[in-house]
Amino acid sequence: MGDFMNNKILPPIMKFVNTKAITALKNGMLFTLPFIMIGSVFLILAQLPVASWAAWMTKTGLSAICMQIYNASFGVMSIFAVSGIAYVWVKDDGFDPLPAGLTALVSFLIIQRPTTAIMINGKIAVTAAQAPQVQMIDRTWLGGQGMIAAIIIGLITGWIYSWFLKRDIRIKLPEQVPAAVAGSFTALIPATAITVGWLVVYGLFDVFGKTTFIEFIYKVVQTPLQGLTDTFGGMLIIALLIPLFWFFGVHGAVIIGGIMGPLLQANSLANAKITAAGHIASATNGGHIVTQSLLDQFGTVTGSGMTFGLVVFMVFFAKSQQMKSIGRLGIGTGVFNINEPVLFGTPIVMNPLLAAPFILMPAISMGATYLAIKFGVIPYFRGPMVPWTTPPIISGLLVGDWRTAVWQAGMIVLSFFVYWPFARKQDAILYKQEQAKLQAETDADASEGVKAN
C-alpha cells in the first residue's frame, strides 16, 4: 500500500501541488493572514457574545470604532489576495514583484462596476431631489464574495506580466537612471496591456451580460463551490485527506489548506459579515457551517489527526520509554496545535497500527460538530479566525461561545478513547522490544563478566 501510494498516487498530486499556479495561490494567500487575524481580533472585541460587554461597547461607541479596523482588514481580504498572488507569481519568476501586485489590484478594481449613491449632508441616501451623486467602490466585492475572482485575476495578471518580461517586452532606460525610475518604466508596457485587457473584459460583461465579471464569477463559480464545501460530504473529504497525506509523510494541512483555504475563508467571512451586521449566523440568513474555524478548531486542533488524546496516553499510561519520552515532548507543543514531534517520533507517519485513529479522528470530530451546529446544539461560528496556535478551549470560545468551548473539550477527550486501543497495542510492541533489548544487554554484560573472571 505504501509503495502504491508513494509511486502511483503521490507523485501526480505533488506535481499538481508544486505547479506555479498552486504555489502562487498558496503563498499569495499568506499575505491575507495578518489582516485576517487583526480584523478577527477587533471583530471579537466588537461582537463578544456577552450581553453586558456588547451593551457597553455599543453605548461607548467602541464597537463602531473596532468595526472600522475589521472593515479595513478582514473585510477587504480579496484585495490582499489578488495582490499577493500576482506578487508571488512574478517573484518566483525572478522579476520585481511589487509592480505586478499593484497591477493586479488595479485590474481587480477595473472589473467592478462603481456604485452610485446620493449624498445628503455627507451621508448616503437612497433618493433625494437635486442631491449630488457620488460613485463609490462597493466593499461587498472586496471581501469574501470577491475571493474567487481575486484568485483568477491574480493568477492571470501574474502570468501575463511575467510573459512580457521573459520576452523582454518593456521600456529600457540607460543604466544611469535610478533603479526606482527605471523600474516604473519597466512595468509600463505589461501593466498597460493587462489593465486594458481587463477593461475589455469589463466592457464585454457590461454591454452583453448587463453584469460584471466579478458578479458572474461569484454566481457561476464561487457560490456553487462554497455550497459544495459547505456540505457534510465536502467536510468529510477535507477531514480525511489532511491526515491521509500526513500518514505518507506529506504535509496535508498545507496541501489541502492551500487549495481549499480560500473557500473556507470566504465562508468564514460570510459569517463574519452577518456578525458584523449585529445578527446571528444561521442557515436562514446565509451562514455557513464548514468554515476555516471548523477545520482549525475541530479538525487540526492539537495538530493534524487530533493527537492530544494519544499524547495523554503516552504521558500517563504508556510503559515503553519511547512513547513516554515522545509524550512528554509533545504535550507542551500539542497545547499550541503543533504535533510534528509526535507524528515522526511515535511514529504515526507510515505506521499502519495508528493509521485508523489518526485518519478517522478528525472526521469524527468535524462530522459530529457539523451535526451539532446543524441541529442547534452549538451555534454557527461567528466568523472571526484566531491564530492557529491558539490553545483549544480558548479558541472554541473565541470563534463561538461557551457551548463551542465545552464541545471542543469533549472532542479532545473523545480523541483519547479513539486512540486508546491502538496506542496500547503500539506501546506493548515497543515495550516488548525495549525489554528484549535490555535483556540482551544484560546477558551480554553477564557474559563479559564471566569471561573476565
The secondary structure of 232-244 as a DSSP string is HHHHHHHHHHHHH
Cα angle: 243, vertex 245, 246; to 5 degrees: 60
The CA R_g of the chain, rounded to the nearest whole Å, is 27
State the pLDDT at residue 170.
86
Question: Is the Cβ–Cβ distance between 77 and 383 less than 8 Å?
Answer: no
Question: Is the Cβ–Cβ distance between 39 and 69 less than 8 Å?
Answer: yes
State the pLDDT at residue 449.
66
Euclidean distance between CA atoms 453 and 404, whole angstroms: 69
Enter the DSSP assignment of 6: I
User: Could you say which residues of the chain have pLDDT below 50?
Assistant: 128, 130
Euclidean distance between CA atoms 118 and 125, whole angstroms: 5
> Which residues in 86-155 belong to E strands, given as ranges?
115-120, 123-125, 133-136
- Looking at the DSSP bridge assignments, the partners of residue 117 are 134
State the pLDDT at residue 409.
96
Cβ-Cβ contacts under 8 Å for 224 (sequence gap 6 or more):
none
Question: Is the Cβ–Cβ distance between 189 and 118 less than 8 Å?
Answer: no
State the pLDDT at residue 427.
94
Residue with cell 480558548: 394
What is the per-residue burial (b if ≥16 Cβ within 10 Å, else e) of 149-163? bbbbbbbbbbbbbbe
State the pLDDT at residue 139.
80
Enter the DSSP assignment of 4: H
State the pLDDT at residue 192.
95
Q: Taking Cα atoms as reference points, which of 217, 213, 184 lies closest to residue 102?
A: 184
Euclidean distance between CA atoms 53 and 47, whole angstroms: 9
Euclidean distance between CA atoms 26 and 30, whole angstroms: 7
- E strand or H helix that includes residue 269: helix 252-276
416: left (phi over 0), alpha (psi -120 to 50) or beta: alpha
218: left (phi over 0), alpha (psi -120 to 50) or beta: alpha
From the number of C-beta atoms within 10 Å of its C-beta (0-12, 13-18, 19+), residue 135 rates as: exposed
State the pLDDT at residue 226.
86
Q: How many CA atoms lie within 13 A of 108 on its CB side?
A: 34
Enter the DSSP assignment of 429: H
| pTM score, whole prediction | 0.80
